[in-house]
Amino acid sequence: MSQQLIDSIKYLIRLSAEEELLLPDLFNRVTLKKNDYFLQEGKVSTQVAFIETGLLRYVMNHKGEDISAYFSGENEWVGNLESFLSRQPSTRSIIALEPTVLWTASRDNLQKLYDTVKEGDRMGRLIIEDVFVKSSKQITSLYTGTPEERYYEFFELFDKIQHRIPQYMIASFIGVKPQSLSRIRSRLSRKH
Amino acid sequence: MSQQLIDSIKYLIRLSAEEELLLPDLFNRVTLKKNDYFLQEGKVSTQVAFIETGLLRYVMNHKGEDISAYFSGENEWVGNLESFLSRQPSTRSIIALEPTVLWTASRDNLQKLYDTVKEGDRMGRLIIEDVFVKSSKQITSLYTGTPEERYYEFFELFDKIQHRIPQYMIASFIGVKPQSLSRIRSRLSRKH
């Protein structure tokens, strides 16, 4: 079992010694190589996962081009809740950007966690609150942000992992061509 | 107390008779006239609310123009969690589009609900799961949707309330000028 996962849960909720003993039955360790899929567009998501090490990106295909819509790194949770909850095919893929170690939970095991851990639902609520706030910021930025503002937003959202993300993926996240991102970067660097 | 709010909570979780008696202390009835603010951009959100009747829209200001970023109607919850949780000024206003009756809960009272109602956190988790899934769809649509696809997405997201929303607000939601929306509508009506 992953001490890092246990610590991450204990950061959010009280977990009794007995409850801690349930966790090894609920999570499976999975390793991904760079470019391996955690979830493939068109398939139904059946797992959520805690990231022990590594980095993943959420990718949407738009007219043959890949758009990176989100990134998740160590100590974050990864999954496509839309597909996971509705059991509909996923509209995005989730792909390892680095060698990655995950602790995955199936739908049944996540429900078991909610049902048997006293504060399991609180843990779920707090994790989803956090990702919901991030997605709200992303929506604001997509509606009203200039490319420069979206570039700043990118750094705010992905502060700890931004240096591990290739420029062309940052460009698609903020919705510009890679050449435009270079121009934005040089404009901003002249300002500072 | 609102039977409709109690029923809505009971649809999500088990609520004991004793717990039901706590609710009147946690919620306040608030009425808004058309165009009244539930939350003003720049202010810190201190309340979430259940909508008994009426309709509200989330508005962001972009270079002097109002963008309608979301709509919520009867039996839905309304608030800006980003501002509510972080205590930072809100980046959007929430305005009544019709005369509206709300049941509001302060931050302290919501926390009290989570702490004293046995399945309170489950209720919170389920409500946030639902809005998070909708915001994920909105992000997908903003990145990859054509105006036509975003128009369909609008109807999918706001199925029950769409006929009460003015055309120019629909246009700003899908990110086109009102004239373009008219063209999209007539193109689509010729197809059917």
Q: What is the pLDDT of residues B115-170, one digit of tens each?
A: 999 999 999 999 999 999 999 999 999 998 899 999 999 999 999 999 999 999 99
Partners of B71 in the β-ladder = B57
Q: What is the pLDDT of residues A86-133, one digit of tens each?
A: 999 999 999 999 999 999 999 999 999 999 999 999 999 999 999 999
- Listed in sequence order, the DSSP H helices in chain B are 3-12, 17-26, 81-86, 107-116, 120-144, 147-157, 167-174, 178-191
List chain B residues with CB under 8 Å of A142.
139, 142-143
Token pair listed for B50: 């259940």
pLDDT reading at B192 higher than 80: no
For A94, B24, B47, the CA distances from B38, given in Å and listed in that order, are: 37, 20, 9
Helix axis angle for A17-26 and A107-116, nearest 10°, is 170
Task: Give the separation between CA A187 and CA A63, rounded to whole angstroms.
Answer: 30
Burial grade of A35 (CB within 10 A; 0-12, 13-18, 19 or more)? exposed
Contact B78, B51 (CB under 8 A): yes
Task: Give the separation between CA B65 and CA A12, rounded to whole angstroms.
Answer: 40
pTM metric for this prediction: 0.94
For CA atoms B34, B55, A81, B145, the dihedral sign is negative
Task: Give the separation between CA A138 and CA A159, rounded to whole angstroms.
Answer: 14
Q: What is the pLDDT of residues A45-94, one digit of tens each?
A: 999 999 999 999 999 998 888 999 999 999 999 999 999 999 999 999 99
Q: What is the pLDDT of residues B15-58, one digit of tens each?
A: 999 999 999 999 999 999 999 999 999 999 999 999 999 999 99
Q: Phi and psi dihedrals of A143, rounded to 5?
A: -80, -45
Give A116's contacts (C-beta < 8 A, 6+ positions apart). Answer: A19, A22
Is the ipTM higher than 0.90? The answer is: yes
Partners of A70 in the β-ladder = A58
List chain A residues with CB under 8 Å of B142.
139, 142-143
Rg (CA), chain A: 18
Token pair listed for A47: 């797992």
Inter-chain residue contact A142 with B140, CB threshold 8 Å:
no
Give B127's contacts (C-beta < 8 A, 6+ positions apart). Answer: B12, B77
From chain A, which residues contact B within 8 Å (Cβ)?
Answer: 60-62, 67, 69, 80-82, 85-86, 91-92, 114, 119, 121-122, 124-125, 128-129, 131-133, 135-140, 142-144, 175
Best residue in B65, B72, B136, B172 to probe A by mutation, most A CBs within 10 Å? B136
* Residue B158 CB neighbours (<10 A): 20
Q: What is the pLDDT of residues A144-169, one digit of tens each?
A: 889 999 999 999 999 999 999 999 99
Q: What is the pLDDT of residues A14-45, one digit of tens each?
A: 999 999 999 999 999 999 999 999 999 999 99
Contact A176, A185 (CB under 8 A): no
Contact B42, B90 (CB under 8 A): yes
Nearest to A147 by CA among A187, A181, A179: A181
In this complex, the residue of B62, B125, B137 whose CB is nearest that of residue A144 is B62
Residue A192: pLDDT band (50, 70, 90) is: low
Task: Give the separation between CA A118 and CA A147, rounded to whole angstroms.
Answer: 45
From chain B, which residues contact A within 8 Å (Cβ)?
Answer: 60-62, 67, 69, 80-82, 85-86, 91-92, 114, 119, 121-122, 124-125, 128-129, 131-133, 135-140, 142-144, 175
Partners of B77 in the β-ladder = B50
Strand A47-53 relative to strand B47-53: parallel, antiparallel, unpaired?
A: unpaired
Mean pLDDT of chain A: 95
What is the DSSP secondary-structure string of A20-40? HHHHHHH-EEEEE-TT-EEE-
Residue with token string 């909708």: B134
Token pair listed for B177: 């000028």
Nearest to A50 by CA among A5, A92, A110: A5
Kindly state the percentage of chain B with pLDDT values over 70.
99
In this complex, the residue of B122, B132, B143 whose CB is nearest that of residue A60 is B143
Inter-chain residue contact A135 with B137, CB threshold 8 Å:
no
